Structure 1
Amino acid sequence: MAGIVMEDDVDMDVSEALNYFDEGHVTALQTKLALNALERHAKEEGLEAGQITSLLKAVGSGKIATQASVKLIRCLIPREHVEQEAVLKVISSLSVPTIPTSVKIMLLKWTILVFELLDGEDLVGSLYDVLFYFLDSDSLRPFVCQLLCFLTKREHVMDFRVHKLLEMLKKVHVNDQPICSLLWAYKVFRPDLLTRSRPKSLFGSMENALKRDIKRVQAKRKTVGLQRRFGTNLRASWTPPSKRRRVTGRAVLATSRSLTLGDGRAISLSQLAENLENFELPSQVSSSLDSPMARHLLTVAGDGEAFLRLTFWLEHCLSEVFFSNSSVSSPDAEHILDCLVSLTEFLQDTVDAVQHFFLCGYLPLWDGVSYRQQILQLMTYLRPEPFDEFRETYILPLHRLFCSLDVSFKADVLFCWQRVLHNLLAPNWKRRDGVFGCLLVEDDDVDRVDFIRRFVEYVDGVCISALQVERNHPHIQSAALSFIDAVSDIYGKYEIPLIILPSPAVVCRTVFALNVSATTGMCRILVDKYRPAFEKVDKMNIEYVEITKQLNSYIVDLCYALWRKSAFYIEEEFTFKTLLYDIPQQALSALQIPRVQDALLVHTGITFLGLIWDYLQTQQSDSQSMMHPRRIPKTHRVAYLNFLREHNMEAIDDFLSTFTTLRS
């Protein structure tokens, strides 16, 4: 029949199809032809970002039939990236009553699949409250929850949202998977608000055919859209495969420790600098955790795709081993942590999967005993964040354990904070980008000087508490002095415009304790670290006037106590107020200790009693009776200081000879 046009005989190119949907004049036959043209082109070449946005506008108009709308959405295969405006049109379509629910569900599924390809998140994130409103819809809730998980950041986790989700659980089902998954995402950022455990399963896969089409087009075009940051959205953990292989410890790590050239030949370490452009990473990128040469290549080559694969694998592996209900043996979990420690020590920096995924979620659950060495080593390279967030995420979980565990844990934590401070002050602390950019945590706009100041003030208070609770235990004293030594380098060694002195309580409990090594350590820090730092300070700088007075008070107090027989007493004409032993005279009299002002002298104090005994033995013959320490004549006291120097306590001699007259 010549007068009838069969639809198989009519064809339409992609430009005509796009114009057809833009014009809005919809007929069944033309719609089918346009969809066929779009489908062929999208599966082969993909669509430009502007074309996708235009087609979503047509879907949101409500003029296209339901089945045609669903098919059109399946044709929205991005060639490279997706504009945020496209997602805004999806969200606006959710509130249009004339659009069928099945179309809205398909729009949400498409948004979840292309979320990794968005050109940003700021505009979409600004509609977080709008998306949260659609949780009341039973049909849309599973997909809205998954999208919210992608967008969730710390500022989105608020009390009223948590209460809203908990109320929903009571109405629907106590184990509703989408809501439980969103609550778990909230718990990652605010563990103090929730006590829920991680759900057994998160969000399953969806629209597998469309997902495969998107991956194929992206791989064909060698998109750079996948090389995005992986910060606080946890998206890698929210979209696991439908059937995941059980992770069982050492089997997770690839056994190959070799690198290969492009033609498959194995290489040696000596070839590393000669053939960098020809090297290929192993097919199992996780083998780089065990192979030193692979780690070198991973960092030198700067392969963003390999970093991305490693980040995905780390988050998946850590989630299975530490956050699921699977029974993974302790040696296998310890082996994985050892590999992470090795990687962070090699990079001299943390990685996103460690700081923002593992430590953020595991520290609130940690008992302080399991894997203590590995956990504290991983915390060594924590990068600064706004201090209030850093305190809630990393400091408070350790602080709760700090107050309940033994002296060994307290000392280990103080040594850990000392290493954290050292890495903050290291010469490469300003490094931001480079070959590690895809794997390392991105720095927020953090005032590092203010962060360091608040961090030091916190640890100083922790030192006081630990010394009080553990009665000046030598292990705690050593850890506290190690941290104070690092603090003293802030200005003098690294020239960061910040000088922080230890609090009087810390100085008093280290200098006047029954541990001569602690006294020696504090004297060394004051004379070798703080004195040179203050000599470099501009004396006219008003910011350092008060802290200079504080240092002078420490020096005067120590000289009076250790050498000048004037502990607990300061001459009235002296301009500096004592900070270490400002004790009322009535209290001293009530103690009824004779010659209390001599109790802390370097040649009579109980702290030095063993050394005094040894010195007196060298100064008298066998026929002489043992002399009392107070009978050491003044002419011998300088010789006694030389005796201390010979026994590796030269810091006391240096301190006294620098700040007082020894022969007076």
Structure 2
Amino acid sequence: MASPRDDDNLGGLLDDLVAASKVPAKRRQTSVKQMVEKTTSALYDRGVLPEELARLVDLLTLRNHLDQASLALLVRNLYPVRKVDEEAILRIIGALGHGQLKPSLALQGLLLRWLVMVYHLLENTAILSKTYGVLFNLLDTAAIRPQLCHLLALITRRKHVRPFRIQAILGLSRQTGGDPALIGLLRVFKNYYPEIIVGEATRGRAAAFKHPDLQWRERLDEIRQQHVERHADNGAINGFAVNHALARQMKGTKISLIPAVHTQHAQEDSITLEEVENPDFFVENLEKIELPTQLVAILADPLLQKLLLLRPDARGYSRISNWLGACLDDVVNGDADPGFLLDLVDIIHDYTVSTKSLPPLLMPFFRSYLETWNGRDKREAVLDTLAFAPLMDSKELHQQLFQPLEQAMLDNTTASQLALLNFYTLVLRRWIVSLEAADDLDCVPADSIPDLINNVNKLTLTLTQTSPNSLTHLAILDFYESCAIIFAKPQILRRIEITIPPALLVYTMHFGTSLVVLSRLCGILASYKRAWETVMAPPVPRQRTLHEREQINTFNGLLMDLCNCLWRGHAFSTTEPNSQGCRITPTLVPVLDQYLRGVDSELTLASAFGLSHSPVLCLQAIAYVRELEDAEIRGLRVRHAGPVTQSSLTQLANRGGLQISWQEYRAGVLTYLESKGINGVPELMYNTMKNLKAG
């Protein structure tokens, strides 16, 4: 006999265990207890793979010389990391019942209990349906009856409920004095044929068929998650079968919030959702499937979600909305725990994420919920859910959703303001998807988009004051980049007016300390400029609105000011058409200029924010010059000390330095910026400066 191995390799441990199981205890030279402990420890740590599970099932179902305590310990530590195949299920079912070669009834009960706990992992649940008769006929075995009834309750469908089985359960119930497990199974039967099974038959104490071991399930989920992370193999999720779990488990606590799918008062020739087990059956009978009794189960059941998505039902949606409203009223009136609503929000969040939509039936619930919400509990789930808000009438959307949300969330902290900004960015991105998918934009209430942008404009100005840093600026630019995506589409511009960022916001970011912020800002402004050009061009058949005509002058002023700073060396000038001097008080300009000349006699305020002197661009500009000098190092007698000016280039050439003109230098810096992925500044210059356009 092989000696026990010292490592935790499960394959080697099973070899030792199988070998030990073939030798009677009195003839073994080593104790099997140590082997079992090592095996169960390995099973608990990393679970069991299919091929290892097959060997363990053989060990558990075939008579051998291992003691019952060791076999029971192995069953309790069977944590499958993948789907359980049909062969393992059939071997367990074949081992049930009476017989000299069968496992003990205690071990059979543990195996049935294990089938209940891994039911959601069965590769093919139909195999249990095929063995329904075998399992049902074992109900007269009292030792395994509770586990059998639980398993039968999980796999029972309307086709399994037959008069002879009802009579058999009733007879057994009378003989056993009302066994709770049998009454619980009979109640499952009654869900399918309430007119046949009368109330008296199901009265009395009944098994609730709760999960046998929640801690075991938690450990199973942990092991499977670790396996997924290691192997990146989630496996297929069967979305074409009803979730027959009798309660919903949330974060380790079992809370029955959403009723399970049950179709009561079904007729003999009708088709219920519970009978669907594959896509083909679902598609073939789509129009014939009866809606379940509790439609609110849609929040937790993927198959019911598919049914109502493909076959909408207005009355059904109304029933769901009424149920949610009643839940909210119970909490408000003190008839239910407030924590109930928080768990319900988690369920609705899962539903909206899976369906990628927030149905109108949920809007009344959230409108009322936001009035009682403290703005902090489940904030991430609430915002992620409401971000699926449909594109609807602006006034209605503001009153029902945005205004109550802002009142609940905003508490004069930067965190709440940033959370709200990120929420609006996500809303806008999802609206973009809706607009792209719309068959007829004339039927879409696109006016809500400019109203949303105007609302966010105020929020961004507040943020630049409460949190004046680059991270905040980048979050703000995320929103306006989404706006630029919308305005880049001519078909959408026919329906909505352009709404620009606030001028003060643009100036604040332009004079910031981040090159990334400046680049992204310039890229967004370049996109806006192209949008204005599109609106003014013939392909877009609409007149500019009064608001747009007012904005165009402001926008042209923004472009002129930025070009004066970055390119033309006329920072804060107000002499050119449309220029606004970056909206700095005119009397302040000479004061600032005098200060700069005192620091550096060659530096003027007008050129202080150009490519060479700008605090965020000067490093890139001189790096470009250094690159040119390195390429011609043998022919140069002197290098440029920096920063580069038009006169310094002339002096440099006369002294034997780099031969390059002022225009070539500036164009080269733009090209250098593009090569480094800093595309925004060059893009804006190319789209704005006429001499660059011509080049």
- TM-score between the two structures when normalised by the length of structure 1: 0.52
Tell me how far 1:599 sits from its aligned partner: 2.7
**What does residue range 192-203 of structure 1 map to in structure 2 within 5 Å?**
none
Contact persistence 1:257–1:287 (CA under 8 A): no
**What does residue range 648-659 of structure 1 map to in structure 2 within 5 Å?**
648-659=677-688
**What does residue range 343-492 of structure 1 map to in structure 2 within 5 Å?**
343-357=351-365, 359-382=366-389, 390-391=397-398, 393-400=400-407, 404-424=411-431, 426-427=434-435, 448=445, 451-471=448-468, 473-492=469-488
CA deviation vs aligned residue, 1:547-606 (integer Å, no higher than 9, x gap): 333332222211111112111114x3x322326344314454157123222232233211
User: Residue type matched to 1:463 in 2?
Assistant: T
Tell me how far 1:455 sits from its aligned partner: 3.2
Tell me how far 1:624 sits from its aligned partner: 8.6
Three-state SS of the structure 2 residue aligned to 1:629 is coil
Counterpart-to-counterpart distance in 2, 1:408 and 1:398: 15
Task: Specify which of 590, 600, 611 is matched with residue 609 of structure 2.
Answer: 600
Counterpart-to-counterpart distance in 1, 2:390 and 2:349: 15
Counterpart-to-counterpart distance in 1, 2:527 and 2:309: 39
Tell me how far 1:389 sits from its aligned partner: 6.2
Tell me how far 1:370 sits from its aligned partner: 1.5
Task: Specify which of 333, 338, 344 is matched with residue 336 of structure 1.
Answer: 344
Contact persistence 2:503–2:554 (CA under 8 A): no
CA deviation vs aligned residue, 1:242-266 (integer Å, no higher than 9, x gap): xxxxx99831124569999449533
CA 1:629–1:280: 2 relative to 1, 3 Å? farther
CA 1:333–1:630: 2 relative to 1, 3 Å? farther
Partner of 1:251: 256
Contact persistence 2:363–2:400 (CA under 8 A): no
Contact persistence 1:334–1:371 (CA under 8 A): yes
Tell me how far 1:268 sits from its aligned partner: 1.5
Contact persistence 1:511–1:519 (CA under 8 A): yes
Gaps of 5+ in 1: 1-246, 433-445
Counterpart-to-counterpart distance in 1, 2:417 and 2:672: 34
Task: Specify which of 315, 331, 343 is matched with residue 325 of structure 2.
Answer: 315
CA 1:320–1:551: 2 relative to 1, 3 Å? same
Tell me how far 1:460 sits from its aligned partner: 0.9
Confirm or deny that 1:527 pairs with 2:526: yes
Three-state SS of the structure 1 residue aligned to 2:572 is coil
Confirm or deny that 1:646 pairs with 2:675: yes
Counterpart-to-counterpart distance in 2, 1:527 and 1:263: 54
Confirm or deny that 1:510 pairs with 2:520: no
Three-state SS of the structure 2 residue aligned to 1:607 is coil
**What does residue range 579-598 of structure 1 map to in structure 2 within 5 Å?**
580-590=582-592, 592-594=595-597, 595-598=604-607
Contact persistence 1:257–1:290 (CA under 8 A): no
Task: Specify which of 276, 280, 289 is matched with residue 279 of structure 1.
Answer: 289
Contact persistence 1:568–1:582 (CA under 8 A): yes
Contact persistence 1:254–1:284 (CA under 8 A): yes
Contact persistence 1:568–1:583 (CA under 8 A): no
User: Residue type matched to 1:363 in 2?
Assistant: L
Contact persistence 1:615–1:640 (CA under 8 A): yes
User: Residue type matched to 2:483 in 1?
Assistant: V
CA 1:309–1:404: 2 relative to 1, 3 Å? closer
Tell me how far 1:644 sits from its aligned partner: 1.5
Contact persistence 2:261–2:274 (CA under 8 A): no
**What does residue range 168-247 of structure 1 map to in structure 2 within 5 Å?**
none
Partner of 1:637: 666
Task: Specify which of 568, 574, 577 is matched with residue 575 of structure 1.
Answer: 577
User: Residue type matched to 2:616 in 1?
Assistant: T
CA RMSD in angstroms comes to 4.1
Tell me how far 1:614 sits from its aligned partner: 5.3
Contact persistence 1:249–1:333 (CA under 8 A): no
Confirm or deny that 1:290 pairs with 2:307: no
Task: Specify which of 630, 642, 645 is matched with residue 628 of structure 1.
Answer: 642
CA 1:528–1:405: 2 relative to 1, 3 Å? same
User: Residue type matched to 1:470 in 2?
Assistant: S
Counterpart-to-counterpart distance in 2, 1:353 and 1:517: 42
Tell me how far 1:289 sits from its aligned partner: 1.7
- TM-score between the two structures when normalised by the length of structure 2: 0.50
Three-state SS of the structure 2 residue aligned to 1:277 is coil
Counterpart-to-counterpart distance in 2, 1:596 and 1:263: 75
Contact persistence 2:296–2:320 (CA under 8 A): yes
Tell me how far 1:295 sits from its aligned partner: 0.6
Tell me how far 1:356 sits from its aligned partner: 1.9
Counterpart-to-counterpart distance in 2, 1:339 and 1:427: 28
User: Residue type matched to 2:345 in 1?
Assistant: L
User: Residue type matched to 2:289 in 1?
Assistant: F
Three-state SS of the structure 2 residue aligned to 1:462 is helix
CA 1:351–1:616: 2 relative to 1, 3 Å? same
Contact persistence 1:504–1:579 (CA under 8 A): no
**What does residue range 29-68 of structure 1 map to in structure 2 within 5 Å?**
none
Tell me how far 1:505 sits from its aligned partner: 1.1
Tell me how far 1:431 sits from its aligned partner: 9.2
User: Residue type matched to 1:454 in 2?
Assistant: D
Contact persistence 1:254–1:286 (CA under 8 A): yes
Counterpart-to-counterpart distance in 2, 1:257 and 1:428: 38
Tell me how far 1:296 sits from its aligned partner: 0.9
Counterpart-to-counterpart distance in 2, 1:377 and 1:285: 24
Tell me how far 1:617 sits from its aligned partner: 5.9
Percentage of identical aligned residues = 18
Tell me which moved more, 291-300 or 393-402: 393-402
Counterpart-to-counterpart distance in 2, 1:402 and 1:283: 37
CA 1:457–1:304: 2 relative to 1, 3 Å? closer
Counterpart-to-counterpart distance in 1, 2:292 and 2:364: 26
Tell me how far 1:306 sits from its aligned partner: 3.2
Counterpart-to-counterpart distance in 1, 2:488 and 2:397: 26
Contact persistence 1:341–1:374 (CA under 8 A): yes
Tell me how far 1:465 sits from its aligned partner: 1.3
Tell me how far 1:650 sits from its aligned partner: 1.5
Tell me which of the two structures has the higher relative contact order, counting C-alpha pairs closer than 8 angstroms and 6 or more residues apart.
1
Confirm or deny that 1:500 pairs with 2:507: no
CA deviation vs aligned residue, 1:215-243 (integer Å, no higher than 9, x gap): xxxxxxxxxxxxxxxxxxxxxxxxxxxxx
Partner of 1:17: none
Counterpart-to-counterpart distance in 1, 2:307 and 2:316: 11
Tell me how far 1:363 sits from its aligned partner: 2.4
CA 1:295–1:257: 2 relative to 1, 3 Å? farther
Q: Between Structure 1 and Structure 2, whose CA radius of gyration is higher?
A: 2
Contact persistence 1:524–1:652 (CA under 8 A): yes
User: Residue type matched to 1:354 in 2?
Assistant: L
Three-state SS of the structure 2 residue aligned to 1:597 is coil
Contact persistence 1:380–1:419 (CA under 8 A): yes
